[in-house]
Amino acid sequence: MKHMIAVAVFDPNDPVTARSVKDALHEYQSVVIPCESRQAMQAAMMQQQMDVLVLKLGKPFDEDFRTLAEVQIKAPHAEVIFVAQFDDEMLQDWMEVIQRGAYEFLPKPLDRDELKHHLVRATEKHHPVEPRKRGYAISTRSLSAGT
């Protein structure tokens, strides 16, 4: 059975993140909801069961860690992927978000194939997904043994 992939994206200062998620999932039936605030993200979670939440990891991290804990309680079926510019200073923070239960941390700029891989795999932890079926081209030229 095919299911839609539902993703809420909270990266208010970078609309490219939501576009990247949408582009990465173009071959899947999906809904991507860009959220301009944490409250908007929570409202999206109340309106629709989200499979994945993509959140910008930013300093100070306390609010991001609180959001992760709230998601784990209110929507345990949703996986959280954090995104941020990555440098040597972020290594410890990356390890901490994973230890606290985030599904993944992805560095910006986001690689479309890597992003697609993690969005699909995170969703498949809870339900199956399949790419959309593409139509096949039909030739108007008849096939015959003699040609």
List the domains of the chain with CATH numbers. 5-124 (3.40.50.2300)
Q: pLDDT per residue over 83-96, tens digit each?
A: 998 877 777 878 88
Give the C-alpha separation, 61 to 141, whole Å. 63
Per the structure block, which two tokens stand in for 24?
């990465």
In this prediction, residue 36 carries a pLDDT of 93
Q: Taking a C-beta distance cutoff of 8 angstroms, is the pair 101, 72 a contact?
A: yes
Residue identified by tokens 């690689």 is 111
Question: Which has the higher per-residue pLDDT, 93 or 49?
Answer: 49
Question: Which has the higher per-residue pLDDT, 23 or 1?
Answer: 23
Give the C-alpha separation, 2 to 57, whole Å. 31
In this prediction, residue 125 carries a pLDDT of 93
Per the structure block, which two tokens stand in for 22?
């949408």
Tell me what the mean pLDDT of segment 70-75 comes to: 90
Q: How confident is the model at residue 141 (pLDDT cuts 50, 70, 90)?
A: very low
Give the C-alpha separation, 11 to 4, whole Å. 22
